[in-house]
Structure 1
Amino acid sequence: MGRVACLVLFAATVLQLGAVVLLPGLPQFEGKAFGARAVLYPLMMLLVPAVWALRRRGRGDAAPWGAFALVMAPFLVDVTGNTLDLYDRVGWFDDACHFGNWLLLCSGLGMLLDPRRRASRGLRALATAGLGALLAVVWELGEWWTFMRFGTELDGAYLDTLGDLALGTLGGCVAAGLVVLTPWRASERAPREG
Protein backbone atom coordinates (compact mmCIF):
# COMPACT_ATOMS: atom_id res chain seq x y z
CA MET A 1 0.00 0.00 0.00
CA GLY A 2 2.79 2.43 0.91
CA ARG A 3 4.67 1.68 -2.30
CA VAL A 4 1.53 2.44 -4.33
CA ALA A 5 1.06 5.70 -2.40
CA CYS A 6 4.64 6.71 -3.23
CA LEU A 7 4.13 5.93 -6.92
CA VAL A 8 0.87 7.90 -7.02
CA LEU A 9 2.40 10.89 -5.21
CA PHE A 10 5.41 10.90 -7.51
CA ALA A 11 3.39 10.45 -10.71
CA ALA A 12 0.83 13.12 -9.79
CA THR A 13 3.61 15.60 -8.99
CA VAL A 14 5.61 14.88 -12.14
CA LEU A 15 2.51 15.04 -14.37
CA GLN A 16 1.57 18.46 -13.01
CA LEU A 17 5.14 19.71 -13.37
CA GLY A 18 5.19 18.40 -16.94
CA ALA A 19 1.96 20.23 -17.70
CA VAL A 20 3.48 23.47 -16.39
CA VAL A 21 6.49 23.03 -18.67
CA LEU A 22 4.34 22.12 -21.69
CA LEU A 23 1.78 24.88 -21.08
CA PRO A 24 3.88 27.94 -20.21
CA GLY A 25 2.31 31.29 -19.57
CA LEU A 26 -0.39 30.28 -17.10
CA PRO A 27 -0.60 33.19 -14.62
CA GLN A 28 -0.53 31.09 -11.43
CA PHE A 29 2.95 29.79 -12.35
CA GLU A 30 4.58 33.05 -13.44
CA GLY A 31 7.52 34.19 -11.34
CA LYS A 32 7.47 31.07 -9.15
CA ALA A 33 10.53 29.25 -10.52
CA PHE A 34 8.64 26.31 -12.00
CA GLY A 35 11.54 25.51 -14.29
CA ALA A 36 13.66 24.83 -11.21
CA ARG A 37 10.80 22.98 -9.49
CA ALA A 38 10.32 20.73 -12.53
CA VAL A 39 13.89 19.50 -12.08
CA LEU A 40 14.38 19.68 -8.31
CA TYR A 41 11.06 18.35 -6.98
CA PRO A 42 11.33 14.87 -8.54
CA LEU A 43 14.96 14.66 -7.39
CA MET A 44 14.08 15.72 -3.84
CA MET A 45 11.17 13.27 -3.76
CA LEU A 46 13.51 10.42 -4.64
CA LEU A 47 16.42 11.51 -2.45
CA VAL A 48 15.29 9.92 0.84
CA PRO A 49 14.32 6.54 -0.69
CA ALA A 50 17.60 6.50 -2.63
CA VAL A 51 19.72 7.24 0.45
CA TRP A 52 17.78 4.64 2.42
CA ALA A 53 18.30 2.05 -0.32
CA LEU A 54 22.04 2.76 -0.51
CA ARG A 55 22.47 2.49 3.26
CA ARG A 56 20.34 -0.65 3.60
CA ARG A 57 21.44 -2.46 0.44
CA GLY A 58 21.88 -6.17 1.02
CA ARG A 59 20.42 -6.15 4.54
CA GLY A 60 17.00 -7.47 3.59
CA ASP A 61 15.19 -4.64 5.38
CA ALA A 62 11.64 -3.88 4.25
CA ALA A 63 11.41 -0.38 2.80
CA PRO A 64 9.52 2.09 5.01
CA TRP A 65 7.11 3.14 2.26
CA GLY A 66 4.82 5.00 4.66
CA ALA A 67 7.68 7.25 5.76
CA PHE A 68 8.69 7.79 2.13
CA ALA A 69 5.10 8.77 1.24
CA LEU A 70 5.04 11.35 4.05
CA VAL A 71 8.29 12.84 2.75
CA MET A 72 6.94 12.98 -0.84
CA ALA A 73 3.48 14.37 -0.05
CA PRO A 74 4.49 18.03 0.53
CA PHE A 75 5.82 18.32 -3.01
CA LEU A 76 2.47 17.23 -4.44
CA VAL A 77 0.63 19.61 -2.09
CA ASP A 78 2.80 22.52 -3.23
CA VAL A 79 2.46 21.82 -6.95
CA THR A 80 -1.29 21.19 -6.68
CA GLY A 81 -1.73 24.39 -4.68
CA ASN A 82 -0.07 26.31 -7.49
CA THR A 83 -1.96 24.42 -10.21
CA LEU A 84 -5.28 25.33 -8.57
CA ASP A 85 -4.00 28.88 -7.88
CA LEU A 86 -4.67 28.44 -4.15
CA TYR A 87 -1.61 30.42 -3.08
CA ASP A 88 -3.00 33.56 -4.72
CA ARG A 89 -6.74 32.94 -4.24
CA VAL A 90 -6.83 31.65 -0.63
CA GLY A 91 -5.10 33.96 1.84
CA TRP A 92 -4.27 31.34 4.48
CA PHE A 93 -3.20 28.56 2.09
CA ASP A 94 0.51 29.41 2.12
CA ASP A 95 0.60 29.45 5.93
CA ALA A 96 -1.31 26.16 6.14
CA CYS A 97 1.17 24.62 3.71
CA HIS A 98 4.21 25.74 5.67
CA PHE A 99 2.83 24.14 8.81
CA GLY A 100 1.21 21.09 7.23
CA ASN A 101 3.95 20.27 4.75
CA TRP A 102 6.61 20.42 7.46
CA LEU A 103 4.42 18.25 9.67
CA LEU A 104 4.26 15.64 6.90
CA LEU A 105 7.91 15.92 5.86
CA CYS A 106 9.32 15.78 9.39
CA SER A 107 6.97 12.97 10.42
CA GLY A 108 8.32 10.90 7.55
CA LEU A 109 11.93 11.78 8.31
CA GLY A 110 11.40 11.19 12.03
CA MET A 111 9.95 7.75 11.33
CA LEU A 112 13.22 6.87 9.64
CA LEU A 113 15.09 7.41 12.91
CA ASP A 114 15.25 3.87 14.26
CA PRO A 115 13.46 3.79 17.66
CA ARG A 116 15.36 0.65 18.66
CA ARG A 117 18.68 2.44 18.77
CA ARG A 118 19.87 3.63 22.16
CA ALA A 119 18.87 7.26 21.56
CA SER A 120 16.18 8.45 23.95
CA ARG A 121 12.78 9.66 22.84
CA GLY A 122 13.88 13.17 23.75
CA LEU A 123 16.86 12.95 21.44
CA ARG A 124 14.70 11.62 18.60
CA ALA A 125 12.22 14.45 19.19
CA LEU A 126 15.02 17.01 19.23
CA ALA A 127 16.53 15.59 16.02
CA THR A 128 13.15 15.65 14.25
CA ALA A 129 12.28 19.19 15.41
CA GLY A 130 15.78 20.47 14.66
CA LEU A 131 15.66 18.98 11.20
CA GLY A 132 12.32 20.73 10.68
CA ALA A 133 13.80 24.10 11.65
CA LEU A 134 16.87 23.54 9.48
CA LEU A 135 14.80 22.51 6.47
CA ALA A 136 12.53 25.56 6.94
CA VAL A 137 15.61 27.81 6.72
CA VAL A 138 16.95 25.94 3.68
CA TRP A 139 13.53 26.19 1.97
CA GLU A 140 13.31 29.94 2.55
CA LEU A 141 16.84 30.42 1.21
CA GLY A 142 15.81 28.41 -1.85
CA GLU A 143 12.74 30.61 -2.37
CA TRP A 144 14.87 33.71 -2.09
CA TRP A 145 17.47 32.34 -4.53
CA THR A 146 14.99 31.15 -7.17
CA PHE A 147 12.52 34.01 -7.32
CA MET A 148 12.52 36.50 -4.44
CA ARG A 149 15.89 38.06 -5.25
CA PHE A 150 14.64 39.02 -8.71
CA GLY A 151 12.06 41.38 -7.27
CA THR A 152 8.86 39.36 -7.45
CA GLU A 153 6.78 39.32 -4.28
CA LEU A 154 9.13 41.68 -2.40
CA ASP A 155 6.30 43.58 -0.70
CA GLY A 156 5.92 41.98 2.71
CA ALA A 157 8.57 39.35 1.99
CA TYR A 158 10.32 39.84 5.33
CA LEU A 159 7.19 39.24 7.42
CA ASP A 160 6.14 36.37 5.16
CA THR A 161 9.56 34.72 5.53
CA LEU A 162 9.50 35.06 9.32
CA GLY A 163 6.00 33.56 9.42
CA ASP A 164 7.02 30.72 7.09
CA LEU A 165 10.05 29.94 9.27
CA ALA A 166 7.92 29.91 12.42
CA LEU A 167 5.20 27.73 10.87
CA GLY A 168 7.69 25.29 9.36
CA THR A 169 9.50 24.97 12.67
CA LEU A 170 6.19 24.50 14.51
CA GLY A 171 5.20 21.79 12.02
CA GLY A 172 8.55 20.08 12.69
CA CYS A 173 7.99 20.31 16.46
CA VAL A 174 4.50 18.79 16.22
CA ALA A 175 5.93 16.04 14.01
CA ALA A 176 8.61 15.39 16.64
CA GLY A 177 5.92 14.86 19.26
CA LEU A 178 3.97 12.54 16.99
CA VAL A 179 7.05 10.51 16.07
CA VAL A 180 8.02 9.79 19.66
CA LEU A 181 4.50 9.37 21.08
CA THR A 182 2.94 7.27 18.33
CA PRO A 183 3.59 3.55 18.73
CA TRP A 184 5.03 1.95 15.62
CA ARG A 185 3.58 -1.21 14.20
CA ALA A 186 6.07 -4.04 13.96
CA SER A 187 5.75 -4.04 10.14
CA GLU A 188 7.03 -0.45 9.99
CA ARG A 189 10.25 -1.28 11.79
CA ALA A 190 13.33 -2.46 10.03
CA PRO A 191 14.73 -5.80 11.25
CA ARG A 192 17.39 -5.61 13.93
CA GLU A 193 20.95 -5.62 12.74
CA GLY A 194 22.80 -8.54 14.04
Structure 2
Amino acid sequence: MNRIWLPAAILVATEAQLAVAEFVPGIERFEGKAFGARLIAYPVLMVLVPAIWWLVRRGERPPWGAFALIMVPFLVDVTGNSLDLYDSVVWWDDANHFVNWVPLSLGIGLLVAAGLPRAWQKVVMVAGIGALLAIAWELGEWWTFIRHGTELATAYEDTLGDEALGSAGAVVAGVLTAVLTRPDAVDARP
Protein backbone atom coordinates (compact mmCIF):
# COMPACT_ATOMS: atom_id res chain seq x y z
CA MET A 1 0.00 0.00 0.00
CA ASN A 2 1.37 3.41 -0.98
CA ARG A 3 1.30 5.66 2.11
CA ILE A 4 2.89 8.77 0.65
CA TRP A 5 -0.17 10.70 1.80
CA LEU A 6 0.95 10.55 5.46
CA PRO A 7 4.33 12.31 5.14
CA ALA A 8 2.79 14.62 2.53
CA ALA A 9 0.00 15.62 4.93
CA ILE A 10 2.52 16.21 7.73
CA LEU A 11 4.61 18.40 5.41
CA VAL A 12 1.61 20.43 4.22
CA ALA A 13 0.24 20.91 7.76
CA THR A 14 3.66 22.06 8.98
CA GLU A 15 4.26 24.41 6.08
CA ALA A 16 0.75 25.90 6.31
CA GLN A 17 1.27 26.82 9.97
CA LEU A 18 4.72 28.24 9.19
CA ALA A 19 3.25 30.37 6.40
CA VAL A 20 0.59 31.76 8.74
CA ALA A 21 3.26 32.51 11.34
CA GLU A 22 5.41 34.33 8.80
CA PHE A 23 2.88 36.12 6.65
CA VAL A 24 -0.03 37.00 8.96
CA PRO A 25 1.05 40.07 10.91
CA GLY A 26 0.37 40.77 14.55
CA ILE A 27 0.28 37.24 15.99
CA GLU A 28 2.29 37.80 19.14
CA ARG A 29 3.12 34.16 19.93
CA PHE A 30 5.19 33.91 16.71
CA GLU A 31 7.25 37.04 17.24
CA GLY A 32 10.96 36.55 17.86
CA LYS A 33 10.87 32.82 17.16
CA ALA A 34 12.61 32.77 13.76
CA PHE A 35 9.60 31.63 11.76
CA GLY A 36 11.09 33.06 8.57
CA ALA A 37 14.06 30.71 8.98
CA ARG A 38 11.78 27.83 9.96
CA LEU A 39 9.63 28.42 6.87
CA ILE A 40 12.65 27.43 4.79
CA ALA A 41 14.61 25.14 7.11
CA TYR A 42 11.80 22.85 8.31
CA PRO A 43 10.55 21.70 4.91
CA VAL A 44 14.15 21.22 3.74
CA LEU A 45 14.91 19.10 6.80
CA MET A 46 11.64 17.22 6.41
CA VAL A 47 12.29 16.20 2.81
CA LEU A 48 16.04 15.65 3.19
CA VAL A 49 15.81 11.98 4.17
CA PRO A 50 13.22 11.06 1.49
CA ALA A 51 15.38 12.89 -1.09
CA ILE A 52 18.48 10.98 -0.03
CA TRP A 53 16.48 7.75 -0.13
CA TRP A 54 15.31 8.53 -3.64
CA LEU A 55 18.88 9.26 -4.81
CA VAL A 56 20.52 6.26 -3.15
CA ARG A 57 17.82 3.59 -3.25
CA ARG A 58 15.83 4.55 -6.33
CA GLY A 59 13.60 1.74 -7.44
CA GLU A 60 13.03 0.38 -3.95
CA ARG A 61 9.69 0.87 -2.22
CA PRO A 62 9.99 4.00 -0.05
CA PRO A 63 9.47 3.53 3.70
CA TRP A 64 6.75 6.14 4.03
CA GLY A 65 6.10 5.30 7.68
CA ALA A 66 9.74 5.94 8.61
CA PHE A 67 9.66 9.21 6.65
CA ALA A 68 6.50 10.28 8.51
CA LEU A 69 8.13 9.49 11.87
CA ILE A 70 11.08 11.72 10.94
CA MET A 71 8.77 14.54 9.85
CA VAL A 72 6.23 14.54 12.70
CA PRO A 73 8.44 16.31 15.29
CA PHE A 74 8.55 19.39 13.05
CA LEU A 75 4.75 19.42 12.93
CA VAL A 76 4.53 19.01 16.71
CA ASP A 77 6.99 21.88 17.23
CA VAL A 78 5.11 24.26 14.93
CA THR A 79 1.73 23.24 16.32
CA GLY A 80 3.01 23.84 19.84
CA ASN A 81 3.88 27.38 18.81
CA SER A 82 0.58 27.85 16.97
CA LEU A 83 -1.31 26.85 20.11
CA ASP A 84 1.00 28.99 22.28
CA LEU A 85 1.98 25.93 24.33
CA TYR A 86 5.65 26.92 24.65
CA ASP A 87 4.69 30.07 26.53
CA SER A 88 1.58 28.83 28.36
CA VAL A 89 2.61 25.30 29.46
CA VAL A 90 5.76 25.29 31.60
CA TRP A 91 6.82 21.74 30.75
CA TRP A 92 5.95 21.79 27.03
CA ASP A 93 9.49 22.55 25.75
CA ASP A 94 11.06 19.82 27.90
CA ALA A 95 8.42 17.29 26.90
CA ASN A 96 9.05 18.07 23.24
CA HIS A 97 12.77 17.48 23.51
CA PHE A 98 12.10 14.01 24.89
CA VAL A 99 8.95 13.01 23.03
CA ASN A 100 9.91 14.41 19.61
CA TRP A 101 13.21 12.58 19.66
CA VAL A 102 11.41 9.25 19.92
CA PRO A 103 9.70 9.31 16.48
CA LEU A 104 12.59 11.23 14.89
CA SER A 105 15.17 8.70 16.05
CA LEU A 106 12.86 5.72 15.49
CA GLY A 107 12.29 6.77 11.88
CA ILE A 108 16.02 7.06 11.35
CA GLY A 109 16.57 3.79 13.18
CA LEU A 110 14.14 1.94 10.92
CA LEU A 111 16.14 3.23 7.94
CA VAL A 112 19.72 2.72 9.09
CA ALA A 113 19.82 0.23 11.95
CA ALA A 114 17.38 -2.47 10.84
CA GLY A 115 20.12 -4.46 9.13
CA LEU A 116 22.38 -4.64 12.18
CA PRO A 117 22.57 -8.19 13.57
CA ARG A 118 22.39 -7.48 17.30
CA ALA A 119 19.80 -5.57 19.30
CA TRP A 120 22.42 -3.71 21.34
CA GLN A 121 24.03 -2.45 18.13
CA LYS A 122 20.69 -1.02 17.02
CA VAL A 123 20.14 0.68 20.37
CA VAL A 124 23.63 2.20 20.41
CA MET A 125 23.46 3.38 16.79
CA VAL A 126 20.04 4.99 17.12
CA ALA A 127 20.86 6.53 20.51
CA GLY A 128 24.13 7.91 19.10
CA ILE A 129 22.51 9.41 16.03
CA GLY A 130 19.72 10.87 18.16
CA ALA A 131 22.21 12.37 20.63
CA LEU A 132 24.15 13.96 17.75
CA LEU A 133 20.91 15.40 16.40
CA ALA A 134 20.04 16.76 19.86
CA ILE A 135 23.41 18.53 19.95
CA ALA A 136 22.93 19.84 16.41
CA TRP A 137 19.45 21.12 17.31
CA GLU A 138 20.81 22.97 20.33
CA LEU A 139 23.54 24.52 18.19
CA GLY A 140 20.77 25.71 15.88
CA GLU A 141 18.90 27.20 18.84
CA TRP A 142 22.08 28.90 19.99
CA TRP A 143 22.64 30.35 16.51
CA THR A 144 19.04 31.50 16.20
CA PHE A 145 18.21 32.76 19.70
CA ILE A 146 20.93 32.62 22.31
CA ARG A 147 23.87 34.31 20.58
CA HIS A 148 21.77 37.46 20.26
CA GLY A 149 21.04 37.41 23.98
CA THR A 150 17.29 36.75 23.91
CA GLU A 151 17.51 33.70 26.19
CA LEU A 152 20.97 34.13 27.68
CA ALA A 153 20.01 33.92 31.36
CA THR A 154 18.71 30.34 31.12
CA ALA A 155 20.66 29.12 28.09
CA TYR A 156 23.21 26.84 29.77
CA GLU A 157 20.77 24.91 31.93
CA ASP A 158 18.16 24.74 29.18
CA THR A 159 20.67 23.53 26.59
CA LEU A 160 22.04 20.76 28.81
CA GLY A 161 18.55 19.67 29.79
CA ASP A 162 17.34 19.66 26.18
CA GLU A 163 20.35 17.61 25.05
CA ALA A 164 19.80 15.11 27.86
CA LEU A 165 16.07 14.82 27.12
CA GLY A 166 16.65 14.42 23.38
CA SER A 167 19.31 11.78 24.04
CA ALA A 168 16.96 9.93 26.40
CA GLY A 169 14.25 9.97 23.74
CA ALA A 170 16.79 8.58 21.28
CA VAL A 171 17.59 5.71 23.68
CA VAL A 172 13.88 4.87 23.86
CA ALA A 173 13.79 4.96 20.05
CA GLY A 174 16.81 2.68 19.93
CA VAL A 175 15.04 0.11 22.08
CA LEU A 176 11.91 0.43 19.93
CA THR A 177 14.02 -0.01 16.79
CA ALA A 178 15.56 -3.17 18.23
CA VAL A 179 12.12 -4.54 19.13
CA LEU A 180 10.42 -3.58 15.84
CA THR A 181 13.21 -4.93 13.65
CA ARG A 182 13.55 -8.32 15.34
CA PRO A 183 13.29 -11.01 12.69
CA ASP A 184 10.05 -12.30 14.23
CA ALA A 185 8.61 -8.77 14.43
CA VAL A 186 9.25 -7.76 10.80
CA ASP A 187 6.11 -9.46 9.53
CA ALA A 188 4.00 -7.69 12.17
CA ARG A 189 5.20 -4.15 11.33
CA PRO A 190 2.65 -1.78 9.77
Q: Secondary structure at the match of 2:100?
A: helix
Q: Does 1:105 align with 2:107?
A: no
1:3 is matched with which residue?
4
Cα pair 1:2 1:69 within 8 Å, conserved: no
Determine whether 1:134 maps to 2:170.
Answer: no
Query: What 5-or-longer segments of structure 2 have no aligned partner?
Result: none
Q: What is the Cα deviation at residue 75 of structure 1?
A: 0.3
1:101-156 CA deviation, whole Å, 9 max, x = no partner?
Answer: 100100000000253x3542222221100001000000000000011111112221
Q: 1:51: which partner in 2?
A: 52
CA distance in 2, matches of 1:146, 1:12: 23
TM superposition shift of 1:158: 1.1
TM-score by length of 1: 0.90
The 3 A distance-change label for structure 1 pair 118 and 153 is closer
> Residue 187 of structure 1: CA displacement?
7.3
Unpaired runs of 5+ residues, structure 1, are 189-194
Task: Return the letter of the residue paired with 1:91.
Answer: V
Give the corresponding residue for 2:31. 30
Equivalent residues of 1:110, 1:124 under 8 A apart: yes
Give the % identical residues. Answer: 53
Q: What is the RMSD of the two structures over their aligned residues, measured on CA atoms?
A: 1.6
Q: Any idea what the Cα deviations from partners look like across 1:77-110, whole Å, max 9, x if unmatched? A: 0000001110000001101100011001000000
1:56-75 alignment to 2 at 5 Å? Answer: 56-57=57-58, 60-75=59-74
Report what 1:192 is aligned to: none
* Secondary structure, counterpart of 1:164 in structure 2: helix
Match of 1:185, SS state, is: helix
State the distance in 2 between where 1:114 and 1:88 align: 37
Contact 1:49–1:68 (8 Å) recurs in 2: yes
Give 2:102's aligned amino acid: L
1:186 Cα offset (Å): 7.1
| Structure of higher RCO (CA pairs closer than 8 Å, 6+ residues apart) | 1
Number of matched pairs: 185
